[in-house]
Amino acid sequence: MAKKKSRRVKLASLIVVGEGAHDKAFINYMKSLYDGETGQIVKVDSADGGSPKDIIKTTDRKYKHTAYDRRYILMDSDVPIKSRITYSASIFALNDDDLNEYIAKELEAVRMGANTFDEAASELIIRSAQGNLRLCRNLCYGSLIEACRETKKIVTIGHVNNVLVQPHWRSHEELMKQQVVS
């Protein structure tokens, strides 16, 4: 009797590089939550800080010649990336459908379920982002971190609200009014 050939599905290999030790710890925690479900090979590394430009260069130099299917860099948004982009074009706000599609594609890219954000959380994120893709992304990340702190796999409206009450999410005028009242 002939030996039966077994087929193995090739899983994607990922490299995720964080800005520093804290980002690496957070990524490892996220990996531990979802690792058993995907079966992917995920390597986590840190770029040991520096400017965003340095982190991108370091990651590119270290992993340029390695065979990873996907590469991700997790960076804070507190320091802008210096680039040759000119700001002569007007950027218009995205509509709600585009932001929903962006969130869905980002979740799909990291193999997280479409139900990671419940309906109310998604609506609040979209409404609060006001068509700004960066705000939408940062609200999603912040909400995911809040859910991880509570060891939950579904982001709820409570997690989004916990992010939105933080001072850097409020407008300058709102913060000034709060200081005058206090």
Is pLDDT of 158 > 60? yes
Per-residue pLDDT reduced to its tens digit, 12-62: 677 788 877 778 888 888 777 766 666 677 788 887 777 777 778 888 888
Residue range 93-182, CATH number: 1.10.8.60
pLDDT digits (tens, 9 = 90+) for 69-118: 777 787 776 656 555 444 555 667 889 999 999 999 999 998 898 899 99
Residues 6 or more apart in contact with residue 155 via CB below 8 angstroms? 116, 117, 118, 121, 143, 144, 146, 147
The C-alpha atoms of residue 133 and residue 110 are separated, in whole angstroms, by: 18
Residue environment code for 109-126, b if the CB has 16+ CB neighbours within 10 A, otherwise e: ebebeeebbeeebbebbb
What is the residue extent of each domain of the chain?
11-78, 93-182
In the CATH hierarchy, which top-level class contains the domain 11-78?
A: alpha beta
Greater model confidence, 182 or 149 = 149
Residue with the bigger pLDDT between 21 and 135: it is 135
Put residue 130 in one of left, alpha, beta given phi > 0 → left and psi -120 to 50 → alpha.
Answer: left
With a cut of 90, say whether residue 154 has pLDDT above it: yes
| 135 pLDDT above the threshold of 80 | yes
Please state, as a whole number, how many other Cβ atoms lie within 10 Å of the Cβ of residue 134: 9
Q: Give the alpha-carbon dihedral of 113, 121, 161, 103, to 10 degrees.
A: 60
Q: Which is higher by pLDDT, 29 or 154? A: 154
Place of tokens 């299917």: 69
Q: Are 75 and 57 in contact (CB under 8 A)?
A: no
Residue 84 has a pLDDT of: 43
pTM: 0.48
Cα distances from 142 to residues 125, 133, 154, 159, 168, in angstroms, run 11, 14, 13, 8, 12
The pLDDT of residue 167 is: 77
The band of 10, judged by pLDDT with boundaries at 50, 70 and 90, is low
CA dist 139 and 104 (Å) reads 14
